[in-house]
Amino acid sequence: MLDLVIRGGQVVTPDGVGSWDVGIEGEKIAALAAPGSLPADAAQVIDATGQLVIPGGIDPHVHTAWPIPGLDGGVLSSAGPGQVSRAAICGGTTTLADFAVWEPGLSLAQAIAKKEEVWREGYTDHALHVMLQGAVPADVIAQMPEAISGGYPSFKIFTTDVRPVGKGRMVRLGHLWAVMQSAARHGGILAIHAEDDDLVMYMYERAEVEGLTDIRHMPMVHSVMSEDIAFRRVMRLARYVEGAAIYMVHVSAAPGVDAIAEARADGLAVYGETLHHYATFTADAYMRPDGVIYHTYPSLKHEEDRQRIWRGLVDGSLSTVATDELCTPRAIKVRSRHVADATGGHVGVETRVPIIYTEGVSKRGMSLERFVAVTSTNAAKLLGLYPRKGAIAVGSDADLVLFDPRVRRTLRSADLHGSDYSAWDGWEIHGWPSLVMLRGRVAVENGQLKAQAGDGRAIPRKLAVSIQNGTV
């Protein structure tokens, strides 16, 4: 007997959109059937009339318990997985991808275990990218196949130190080549923050000399040119590594989208991630008195970049929408307007799915299939979670969201669960989750959190062959 049947909704599946009934048994989707055809003796029947039934969202890029170094030498920390995942699940996201940071003196296995321990408090399921940094030693690169086979096939790389403080994360081209070769041979993918470090650090120096240190000058430091050059350099390197799969994170500028589109047209396994932050704000936001709350790295760009990002989301040049979540109180976020000391990241996991529906589907006519693809399915495929996650299909985890497009609400930070501020405070939203399920259990219902800390699980992953051949 089925444990639960969802009836009456418009269901978005890998085979299209239709008015199917969804049957759930235990933690899995057990049936998709014509309306009214599933047994009526299910333990529970949920009426989804007028609502969308979509897979739980997947945010492929969040940072929890992340260090925030300051120019004064101090180091703060962002919120942990409990706070971040609670906000995420309230907004319809049921799986988060965080980062296990390798540091000298650790093995990759130790770095993973250290982060997994922190995630015991999670409300959502999670995956971990392994972040490599600096001059990655040969013996650490030799550990990559074991990490991949153990369910951790994605590796984070920075081509810049991002800021003048907290240096040491940049991986130079030679080491990037070695890491890329290992990932390609053994079924891994590289998630790359690509900016040209020479340009970025030069512009920090120039900004200081010329007195252009206010946050409004951030696009001059983390520039369109820097993204363009770095993206094309990484993609040129990938052409020399057979089987290389690269995932360009937080694409912020039109030339970045163009570079990805050109590489994909050439058959390269290159994928692009943007943020709903870049899709909704421009550098003009930095001019506001609280302009720093709109900042993450790389910087916000210009209206032509924002419009190109939306075209990329619709036409498939971009694959996913993430957040680059870095959950802090407002006081930490606004502590400095200095270009070299601005706190990156933002509080966005709860608003991601509703914002993309509002701005993409409701206002721009994005199809429901693309909406689900960029907020869930593509991330599942690229990270090796599919079809367990990211799909309403028989055998998939019953991570389901009943999303009500009839809801009209004004976002208020006081009503959200991440922090005491939101960059989207005052935004009018078209649609909001009425019910969120994680593996067959109700996690959120009519705005009330039912899940508990620790309900989430670590999800082992294995990339499909299609990732390496660029067909996703």
Is the per-residue pLDDT at 244 higher than 80?
yes
**Averaged over 116-131, what is the pLDDT?**
96
70 band by pLDDT with thresholds 50, 70 and 90: confident
162 by Cβ neighbours in 10 Å (0-12 / 13-18 / 19+) ranks as buried
At residue 68, the pLDDT reads 77
Q: Is the pLDDT of residue 213 over 80?
A: yes
Model confidence, pTM? 0.97
pLDDT at 73 over 80: no
Other C-beta atoms closer than 10 Å to the C-beta of 253 total 29
Is the distance from CB of 267 to CB of 213 less than 8 angstroms?
Answer: no
Q: How confident is the model at residue 471 (pLDDT cuts 50, 70, 90)?
A: confident
The pLDDT score that the predictor gives to residue 469 is 77
| pLDDT tier at 193, thresholds 50, 70, 90 | very high
* Span 340-364, pLDDT tens digits: 999 988 899 999 999 999 999 999 9
Q: What is the average pLDDT across 111-133? A: 97
Helices (H), 97-196: 108-118, 138-141, 144-149, 173-186
At residue 79, the pLDDT reads: 86
Contact 75, 446 (CB under 8 A): no
pLDDT score for 289: 95
What gap in Å lies between CA 204 and CA 221, rounded to an integer? 6
Question: Above 80 in pLDDT, residue 75?
Answer: no
CB 329, CB 68: distance < 8 Å: no
| Type of residue at 215 | I
Inter-CA distances, 64 with 84, 285, 327, Å: 7, 25, 7
111 pLDDT tier (thresholds 50, 70, 90):
very high
Instruction: Write the secondary structure of 38-56 as one string of H (helix), E (strand) and C (coil).
Output: CCCCCCEEEECCCCEEEEC
116 burial via Cβ count (<10 Å: 0-12, 13-18, 19+): middle
